Amino acid sequence: MRYWAVHVSRIILTSTVDEAQLACAMTQLTFAGAATGTYGAVYVQRQVQTCNTKRESAHVRTPTRLQRTLPNILTAARVVCTPLLAIAYLSDARGLATGIFALSAVTDLFDGILARRWNVCSALGAFLDPVADKLLVCAALVCVVARLPTPYIAPATAVILCREIFVSALREWMATRNMRDTVQVGFLGKVKTAAQMVAVIALLAAPEPLSLVARIGALALIASAVLAIVSAAGYVRAALPVLLAPDKPT
């Protein structure tokens, strides 16, 4: 009995809690307590309560300063990278420009994951994240069109840019009606974004308009443009009842 008491106490005093280790120790302590009668049962109950308190407190720890700021730093880094990407690409440093965009795409993935995992989602992050994404993608597409002015890249780029402006305006207007959740990003929007990322990376890395990489990028960009139209139509359909509703008299 003393062995298990010491064993559980050591676990409780550690800064991190191993769920499997706790469960095993508590189970073994329960058997040991049962063998010692009423006193053991009371002792087990107290130890279990202490273990549960420790486990709950481990899951709600106060975020550190780094945890609170890192997701927003990653998001802000994408804004900073936008002019750097344009300068690198238009200076014929395609590899550097492609690397900047790819690294920025990775930060786009991790800033949201870290914010949710550490429970440090903020109003600044919610505002800055979509802005940073649109700035980076739009700047990259404009640079690509300037260097690869093909009949299929330019129209697809125009569709994507117009769609982003339209959907952003629609979401802002819906927010004034307290119904922004009606036009949240859906599955098609996420697929569109993934195709868009592939297209931009391929087009930034393409050495010339007729290369294989450029053609792959152009196909992905056209697919992204089609998904942009379809997903925007879904947002309009969801917002249509609000758009057509008569204004209430003031």
* Per-residue H/E/C for 102-119: HHHHHHHHHHHHHHHHCC
Cα-based distances in Å from 63 to 53, 59, 122, 194: 19, 11, 13, 31
Query: Nearest to residue 129, comparing CAs of 84, 71, 69?
Result: 71
pLDDT at site 8: 46
- Predicted confidence (pLDDT) per residue in 64-105, tens digit: 988 889 999 999 999 999 999 999 999 999 999 999 999 999
pLDDT band at residue 56 under the 50/70/90 scheme:
low
In this prediction the pTM is 0.71
Residues in the chain: 250
d(Cα 62, Cα 112) in Å, to the nearest integer? 18
End-to-end alpha-carbon separation of the chain, Å?
74
- The fraction of the chain above a pLDDT of 70, given in percent, is 75
pLDDT at 138 over 60: yes
pLDDT at 145 over 90: yes
For tokens 């002015």, the residue is: 149
For tokens 């010692």, the residue is: 36
pLDDT band at residue 19 under the 50/70/90 scheme:
low
Handedness of CA 203, 206, 209, 212 (dihedral sign): negative
| Residue extents of the structural domains in the chain | 2-59, 64-136, 148-250
Spatial contact of 47 and 27, defined as CB atoms under 8 Å apart: no
> Which amino acid is residue 121, in one-letter code?
C
Phi-psi region of 18 (alpha: psi -120 to 50; beta: other; left: phi over 0): beta
pLDDT at site 4: 47
Phi-psi region of 93 (alpha: psi -120 to 50; beta: other; left: phi over 0): beta
pLDDT at 198 over 60: yes
Spatial contact of 156 and 222, defined as CB atoms under 8 Å apart: yes
Q: How many CB atoms lie within 10 A of CB 30?
A: 17
pLDDT at site 31: 52
Q: What is the mean pLDDT of the chain?
A: 81
Chain-centroid distance of CA 209 in Å reads 32
pLDDT at 196 over 50: yes
